[in-house]
Amino acid sequence: MKLYQNQLWKQGEDLYRIVVLERLAVEYKRIDPLDPEKDTHHRVTKKEFCRLIKGATEVVGGSL
């Protein structure tokens, strides 16, 4: 799996956008499609992020 900045992943009803991609860390936003004002920002290791999106599908084009 290749990760890159601004990539958008969908798992169930949750959307995850990669904001900052570093060598060992990922900063992402969890987006609530029903209320975009309630986005939450998180910083985790790449390994944790890959576990989080396991089974998720990439939203092609990065737009909703």
pLDDT tens digits for range 3-32: 999 999 999 989 999 999 999 999 999 998
Look at residue 20 and tell me if it is in a domain: yes
Look at residue 2 and tell me if it is in a domain: no
Which positions ≥6 away from 48 have C-beta within 8 Å? 26
Shortest CA distance to 31 belongs to which of 7, 61, 48?
Answer: 7
Look at residue 21 and tell me if it is in a domain: yes
Look at residue 33 and tell me if it is in a domain: yes
Look at residue 44 and tell me if it is in a domain: yes
- Span 50-63, pLDDT tens digits: 999 999 999 987 55
Amino acid at 26: V
The residue range of the domain holding 15 is 8-62
Domain count within the chain:
1
Look at residue 3 and tell me if it is in a domain: no
Which pLDDT belongs to residue 19? Answer: 97
Q: Inform me whether the pLDDT recorded for 36 exceeds 80.
A: no
Quote the pTM value. 0.85
Look at residue 1 and tell me if it is in a domain: no
Average pLDDT score over residue span 31-57: 92
**Residues listed for the chain:** 64
